[in-house]
């Protein structure tokens, strides 16, 4: 038999043999796949962002089916996806709270440098050189490591500081892990208005003042202004907002002498009350009350006095005396007459 | 020829360093470039290649010896079928191994992940098997050459991946970014491996 005839025969036989082995093996080694896993994979966004802590969306679907992961752990999918997954798994899902990333630095000190940094434009590299060029060792370096990490184009460097685009942010945690300064965190957005306290500095007041235009000095004025117990507290010279409790009323923003706390991105003007005699009011006493008064009455007129009523009168004199003794007397004069009729 | 330990060692060392499949013979460049962005994934790919190269050498040797090199009527052999047969065998083998691992050793299956099916089309595997027949290796020698070649691939891809991880930070001209600069780096590593050529231990 010549090789021309043998060759196709041999190949055909080999092909049939291997085909048969594979067909047989697929029966023997068949692994039962849970149909739910496939169904869940289809619902998931497919961004493979890893925010849930599992390698990709497939890994998350697997973990959900095995009962290792909660059904609402997919941040990009949001509550809609969680509800659908819950349906597949037969679990009721509570309406989840939307979460967003928050950069805990306002950038008030990004021009106050200790040295000129020349090198790689990366936060990680900058932070390795004696923890960055900024005077404030807690400040955002603006190198853009978080921007690179974000798969949703939701964080940008604006004026040298990272800013989160709340509309796009899905709280996937990528920027949090990317930041070498650990100043980005994920917070729940419960209240309608969004109070932000963008500072991470645990330095003492004078040091913070030197290094930053508006860093938190731990003066406690916001804590005293807050109508909700525990919504804001000062630890190690840094005030932090507890978003589980915060209602976004903005009293802290009005009280803050550093103009650090913002409500929906805006620093509320000090109320023409005990908040008025702060550094700012002292600097331009004529302009401030004029623009502050109409705004204060227009927007939060309804909620502010109500919330203030029980807390403020008792604490006001006490709070002022130890915290800002130097500034208080100067500014009290123009503000006091205006305030008294309103408060009582 | 009798396979002494020394000759096996020299074959293995040759496969790892002197005749490195990627850097000296330019086989398996596709996975070498594609899966070398991170050291972790490169390591996974390297492990999978060692495994498949070893098994492919072992399985293809008897097929070559008893079917293809056999003299059929008229004195002809089927050696001209080597390439197509080996591809058939490797493809089925990888499929089979994948099914087997998924059922029996799920942890290893998950560790190898997507790299296992990728290897089906890795020309370095075919290269190992073809060279085994060309060099007339015995079964033990084939197996050694296969596993050695896999280790050589692992060494090359892990070295290259660690270079690429560092290159991420470097600045280079816009037109060189990405693959071009990676290819340049690969050629430099290959140059370095030329230093091993002519190395003879035994």
What is the separation of C-alpha B69 from the centre of its chain, rounded to a whole number of angstroms? 24
Share of chain B above pLDDT 70, in %: 93
Buried b / exposed e across A259-281, counting CB within 10 Å, b at 16+? bbbbbeeebbbbbbbbbbbbebb
Give me the pLDDT at residue A19, please: 92
Give me the pLDDT at residue B112, please: 67
Q: Least CA distance to B77: which residue of chain A?
A: A3
Measured distance CA(B142)–CA(B123) in Å, rounded: 17
Mean pLDDT rounded to a whole number for chain B: 85
Angstroms from B48 CA to nearest CA on chain A:
19
A2 closest CB neighbour out of B63, B67, B74 = B74
CB contact (8 A) between residue B89 and residue A1:
no
Give me the pLDDT at residue B3, please: 57
Q: Which residue from A205, A257, A258 is spatially nearest to A236, judged by alpha carbons?
A: A205
Mean pLDDT across the stretch A291-295?
Answer: 45
Task: Return contacts of A53-62, CB within 8 angstroms, 24+ apart.
Answer: A61/A37, A62/A37
Longest alpha-carbon distance in chain A: 118
Is residue A315 scored above 90 in pLDDT? no
Mean pLDDT rounded to a whole number for chain A: 76
B149/A4: higher pLDDT = B149
CB contact (8 A) between residue A22 and residue B67:
no
Buried b / exposed e across B45-84, counting CB within 10 Å, b at 16+? bbbbbbbbbbbbbbbbbebbeebbeeeeeeeeebeebbee
Give me the pLDDT at residue B107, please: 76
Q: Which residues of B touch A6 (CB under 8 A)?
A: 72-73, 78
Measured distance CA(A324)–CA(A330) in Å, rounded: 11
- For B163-186, the pLDDT digits (tens) are 998 888 888 888 888 889 999 999
- Highest mean pLDDT (candidates B3-12, B35-44, B55-64): B55-64
Angstroms from A25 CA to nearest CA on chain B:
7
Is residue B105 scored above 50 in pLDDT? yes
Give me the pLDDT at residue A332, please: 43
Q: Which residues of B touch A122 (CB under 8 A)?
A: 169
Cross-strand partners of A127: none
CB contact (8 A) between residue B88 and residue A3:
no
Is residue B160 scored above 90 in pLDDT? yes
The rounded radius of gyration (Å) of the Cα atoms in chain B is 18
CB contact (8 A) between residue B99 and residue A1:
no
Measured distance CA(B130)–CA(B84) in Å, rounded: 11
Q: Is the Cβ–Cβ distance between A233 and A288 less than 8 Å?
A: no
- For A25-77, the pLDDT digits (tens) are 888 887 777 778 888 888 888 777 767 777 778 778 888 888 777 777 777 77
Q: Which residue has the tokens 């059922």?
A: B103
Residues 6+ apart with CB under 8 A from A51: A74, A75, A76, A170, A171, A172, A173, A174
Give the β-pairing of A262-263 and A238-241.
Answer: unpaired
- For B31-54, the pLDDT digits (tens) are 888 778 888 878 888 888 888 899
Q: How confident is the model at residue A1 (pLDDT cuts 50, 70, 90)?
A: low
Put simply, whether A31 touches B (Cβ < 8 Å) is yes
Share of chain A above pLDDT 70, in %: 76
Give me the pLDDT at residue B156, please: 93
Is residue B62 scored above 50 in pLDDT? yes
Q: Which residues of B touch A30 (CB under 8 A)?
A: 103
Q: Which residues of B touch A29 (CB under 8 A)?
A: 99-100, 102-104
Residue A338 DSSP symbol: H
Mean pLDDT across the stretch A93-116?
Answer: 82
A35/A184: higher pLDDT = A184
Angstroms from B180 CA to nearest CA on chain A:
21
A21 closest CB neighbour out of B78, B96, B169 = B96
Mean pLDDT across the stretch B12-39?
Answer: 86
B92 closest CB neighbour out of A18, A30, A122 = A18
Mean pLDDT across the stretch B89-99?
Answer: 86
CB contact (8 A) between residue A28 and residue B103:
yes
Phi, then psi, of A232 in degrees rounded to 5? -145, 135
Residues 6+ apart with CB under 8 A from A195: A241, A246, A248, A250, A252, A253, A261, A262, A263
Please, what are the domains in chain A?
A: 35-89 (1.10.15.40), 98-189 (3.30.70.20), 205-336 (no CATH)
Is residue A298 scored above 80 in pLDDT? no
- For B142-159, the pLDDT digits (tens) are 999 999 999 999 999 999
CB contact (8 A) between residue A2 and residue B84:
no
A153/A298: higher pLDDT = A153
Residues 6+ apart with CB under 8 A from B202: B6, B7, B9, B10
CB contact (8 A) between residue B99 and residue A2:
no
A65/B187: higher pLDDT = B187
């Amino acid at each position: 038999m010549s090789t021309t005839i043998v060759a196709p025969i041999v190949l055909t036989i080999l092909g049939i043999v291997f085909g048969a082995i594979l067909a047989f093996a697929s029966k023997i080694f068949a692994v039962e796949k849970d149909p739910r896993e496939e169904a869940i994979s289809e619902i998931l966004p497919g961004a493979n962002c890893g925010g849930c802590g599992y390698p990709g969306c497939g890994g998350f679907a697997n973990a959900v089916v095995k009962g290792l992961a909660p059904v609402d752990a997919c941040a990009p999918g949001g509550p809609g996806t969680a509800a659908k997954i819950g349906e597949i798994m037969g679990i009721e899902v509570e309406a989840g709270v939307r979460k967003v990333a928050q950069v805990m630095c306002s950038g008030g000190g990004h021009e106050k440098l200790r040295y000129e940094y020349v090198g790689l434009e990366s936060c990680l590299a900058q932070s390795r050189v004696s923890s960055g060029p900024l005077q404030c060792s807690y400040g955002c370096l603006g190198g853009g490591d978080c921007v690179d990490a974000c798969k949703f184009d939701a964080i940008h460097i604006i004026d040298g500081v990272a800013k989160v685009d709340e509309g796009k942010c899905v709280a996937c945690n990528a920027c949090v892990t990317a930041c070498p300064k650990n100043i980005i965190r994920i917070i729940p957005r419960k209240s309608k208005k969004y109070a932000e306290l963008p500072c991470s500095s645990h330095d003492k007041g004078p040091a913070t003042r030197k290094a930053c235009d508006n860093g938190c000095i731990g003066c406690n004025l916001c804590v005293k202004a807050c109508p909700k117990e525990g919504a804001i507290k000062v630890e190690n010279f840094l005030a932090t907002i507890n978003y589980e409790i915060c209602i976004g009323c903005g009293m802290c923003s009005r009280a803050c002498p550093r103009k650090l706390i913002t409500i929906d991105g805006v620093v509320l003007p000090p109320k023409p009350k005990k908040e008025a005699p702060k550094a700012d009011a002292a600097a331009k006493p004529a302009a401030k009350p004029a623009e502050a008064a109409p705004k204060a009455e227009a927007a939060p007129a309804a909620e502010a006095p109500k919330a203030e009523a029980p807390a403020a009168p008792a604490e006001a004199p006490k709070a002022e005396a130890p915290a800002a003794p130097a500034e208080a007397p100067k500014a009290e004069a123009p503000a006091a007459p205006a305030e008294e009729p309103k408060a009582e | 020829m009798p396979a002494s330990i020394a000759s096996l060692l020299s074959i293995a060392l040759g496969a790892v360093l002197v005749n490195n499949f990627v850097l000296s013979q330019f086989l398996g460049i596709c996975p070498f470039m594609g899966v070398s962005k991170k050291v972790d994934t490169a390591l996974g790919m390297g492990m999978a290649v060692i495994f498949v190269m070893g098994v492919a050498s072992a399985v293809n040797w008897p097929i070559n010896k008893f079917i293809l090199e056999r003299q059929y009527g008229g004195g002809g052999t089927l050696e001209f079928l080597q390439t197509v047969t080996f591809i058939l065998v490797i493809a089925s083998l990888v499929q089979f191994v994948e099914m087997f691992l998924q059922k029996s050793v799920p942890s290893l299956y998950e560790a190898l992940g997507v790299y296992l099916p990728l290897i089906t089309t890795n020309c370095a595997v075919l290269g190992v098997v073809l060279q085994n027949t060309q060099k007339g290796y015995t079964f033990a020698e084939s197996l050694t050459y296969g596993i050695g070649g896999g280790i050589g691939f692992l060494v090359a891809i892990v070295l290259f991946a660690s270079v690429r991880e560092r290159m991420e930070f470097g600045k280079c001209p816009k037109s060189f970014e990405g693959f071009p600069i990676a290819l340049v780096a690969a050629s430099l590593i290959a140059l370095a491996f030329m230093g091993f050529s002519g190395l003879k231990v035994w």
